[in-house]
């Protein structure tokens, strides 16, 4: 996945334009060979921005940057944020911010938005999709928050949590795509890659 080349038997090459190890793991579940090229872009993370607009913008920004440098490849970009009370909860800057996010999420239902952008410059192939899921937190106190922060590295995770890591401590339930909450909705991604000819 780390070397640039053509796919097996002349199949279209797929590039994941993301540094996220979770997206890498999720995409691998679809069984399509891919490479990883991290886009060198500055993402828009203004909390007051409509979350659908934000994730769509950032996903396209990443995909467009990588596609411009690898015009023959199909490039997949994605971006995810957590939304509550009219504001996006992006990746926390430090433990204090993660702690504050978890306090806000406690006992409430929030929405997880992911934007997906697929690009191939050589023939102007372009798809954009958005997916939303809901997550309900258990009421959690300071002790639970400290336990969670002690077990999970929250600094690279929107909302300061990962549902797949110690989720039983903090999550009461969810509605919609579980993989979307992790960072890449596999159902929608599979549909897009099928339309691109990468999946039968």
Tally of CA atoms within 13 A in the half-sphere of 145 that contains its CB: 20
Is 125 domain-assigned? yes
User: Strand pairing partners for 129?
Assistant: 116
Each residue's pLDDT tens digit, 53-64:
999 999 999 999
Is 67 domain-assigned? yes
- Domain range for 99: 8-195
Is 51 domain-assigned? yes
Is 114 domain-assigned? yes
Active-site annotation holder among 50, 64, 79, 168: 79
pLDDT at 4: 42
Is 110 domain-assigned? yes
Mark whether 50 is an active-site residue: no
Contact call for residues 114 and 180 (beta carbons, < 8 A)? yes
Cα(84)–Cα(104) distance, integer angstroms? 8
Is 200 domain-assigned? no
pLDDT at 134: 98
Is 3 domain-assigned? no
Each residue's pLDDT tens digit, 119-178:
999 999 999 999 999 999 999 999 999 999 999 999 889 999 999 999 999 999 999 999
Contact call for residues 170 and 162 (beta carbons, < 8 A)? no
Please identify which residue in the block is written with the tokens 């679809």. 30
What share of the chain has pLDDT > 90, as a percent?
A: 86
What pTM value is reported for the model?
Answer: 0.90
> How many structural domains compose the chain?
1
Rg for the chain, CA atoms, rounded: 17
Contact call for residues 155 and 92 (beta carbons, < 8 A)? yes
Is 1 domain-assigned? no
CATH number of 94's domain = 3.90.950.10
């Amino acid at each position: 996945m780390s070397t640039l080349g053509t796919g097996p038997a002349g199949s279209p090459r797929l590039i994941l334009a993301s540094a996220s190890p979770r997206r890498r793991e999720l995409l691998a579940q679809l069984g399509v060979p891919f490479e990883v090229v991290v886009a060198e872009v500055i993402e828009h993370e203004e909390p007051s921005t409509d979350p659908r607009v934000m994730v769509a913008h950032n996903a396209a920004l990443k995909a467009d940057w990588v596609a411009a440098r690898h015009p023959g490849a199909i490039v997949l970009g994605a971006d995810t944020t957590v939304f509550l009370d009219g504001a996006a909860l992006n990746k926390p800057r430090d433990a204090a911010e993660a702690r504050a996010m978890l306090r806000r999420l406690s006992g409430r239902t929030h929405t997880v938005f992911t934007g997906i952008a697929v690009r191939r410059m050589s023939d102007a192939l372009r798809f954009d999709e958005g997916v939303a899921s809901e997550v309900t937190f258990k009421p959690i106190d300071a002790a639970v928050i400290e336990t969670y922060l002690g077990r999970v590295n929250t600094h690279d995770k929107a909302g300061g949590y990962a549902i797949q890591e110690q989720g039983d401590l903090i999550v009461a339930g969810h509605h919609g795509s579980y993989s979307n909450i992790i960072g890449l909705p596999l159902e929608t991604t599979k549909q897009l890659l099928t339309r691109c000819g990468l999946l039968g």
